[in-house]
Amino acid sequence: QKEVEQDPGPLSVPEGAIVSLNCTYSNSAFQYFMWYRQYSRKGPELLMYTYSSGNKEDGRFTAQVDKSSKYISLFIRDSQPSDSATYLCAFLTGGGNKLTFGTGTQLKVEL
Amino acid sequence: GAVVSQHPSRVICKSGTSVKIECRSLDFQATTMFWYRQFPKKSLMLMATSNEGSKATYEQGVEKDKFLINHASLTLSTLTVTSAHPEDSSFYICSARGQGTSGISTDTQYFGPGTRLTVL
Distance separating alpha carbons of residues B18 and A33, to the nearest angstrom: 37
- B111·A44 Cβ contact <8 A: yes
- B111·A45 Cβ contact <8 A: yes
pLDDT digit string, tens, across residues B66-120 = 999 998 888 999 999 999 999 999 999 999 987 665 556 667 889 999 999 999 9
pLDDT digit string, tens, across residues B99-113 = 665 556 667 889 999
The residue among A31, A67, A39, A59 whose CA lies nearest residue B111 is A39
- B112·A36 Cβ contact <8 A: no
- pLDDT at residue B72 in the model: 84
- Tell me whether A63 touches chain B (CB under 8 Å): no
- Of the candidates A42, A88, A97, the beta carbon closest to that of B43 is on A88
Collect all residues of chain A within an 8 Å Cβ-Cβ radius of residue B109: 46, 99
Count other Cβ atoms within 10 Å, centred on residue B9.
Answer: 14
- pLDDT at residue B105 in the model: 67
- Tell me whether A71 touches chain B (CB under 8 Å): no
Split at pLDDT 50, 70, 90, the class of A96 is confident
Residue B114, min C-alpha distance to chain A (Å): 5
- pLDDT at residue A107 in the model: 97
